[in-house]
Amino acid sequence: MHRFPLRVRYADTDRMGFAYYGNYMRWFEIGRAEMMRSLGTSYREIEESGVSLPVVEASCRYRKPARYDDAIVIETAVADLGRASVEFAYRVVREGDGELLATGRTQHCFLAPDGRPGRAPEGLAALLARAPKAGAS
């Protein structure tokens, strides 16, 4: 899986002392953006070409808490690539001991410039086909 390092910030924590559960969605966004960048294009460029990948479904399983200032790694892969949708899989691991903190998925459709869901443009489909793979959910 593609790996991107992050650090848990004070802004991410809640009064339990752990990262707030909603913030993992932000980390997933960062994971998939950086995975696409590593494949040679940025999500900004994709949007500028007129295509967007809105999230249709998202889920996260929280296994161990992420604590303030923890160095973590967001691991991202493509779990499923269809004609009209793509699913990413994520793992949040603690750097150092590699402890698995969370796993997640996001499913996206492809929105054409006219705002309608449709097929992925060829270039984008080819790019996503080169991404690291995870087993389908």
In whole angstroms, the minimum distance from the beta carbon of 135 to its own copies comes to: 18
Q: Which of 3, 20, 41, 81 binds its own copies (CB under 8 A)?
A: 20
Q: List the one residue from 49, 50, 57, 100 that touches its own copies (CB under 8 A).
A: 57
Taking the CA atoms of 121, 127, 130 and 134 in sequence, report the sign of the dihedral they define: negative
Q: Spell out the residues 6+ positions from residue 4 whose beta carbon is closer than 8 angstroms to its own.
A: 30, 31, 34, 35, 73, 74, 76
Task: Establish if 85 lies at the interface with its own copies (CB under 8 A).
Answer: no
Residue of 34, 18, 43 whose CA lies nearest to 75: 34
- With CA atoms as reference, report the closest residue to 106 among 124, 126, 88: 88
For its own copies, which stretch binds (CB under 8 A), given 6-14, 79-87, 91-99, 118-126? 6-14
Q: Are 7 and 19 in contact (CB under 8 A)?
A: no
CA dist 25 and 58 (Å) reads: 8
Q: Are the CB atoms for 92 and 72 separated by under 8 Å?
A: yes
Could you say which of 38, 39, 68, 133 contacts its own copies (CB under 8 A)?
A: 68
- Choosing from 49, 61, 96, 130, the residue that interacts with its own copies (CB under 8 A) is 61
Q: Which stretch binds its own copies (CB under 8 A): 58-66, 82-90, 93-101, 122-130?
A: 58-66
15 binds its own copies (CB under 8 A): yes
Cβ-based nearer residue to its own copies, 22 or 123 = 22
Can you give the binding site for its own copies, defined by CB under 8 A?
9-11, 13-18, 20-26, 29-30, 33, 42-44, 52, 54-62, 65, 68-69, 106
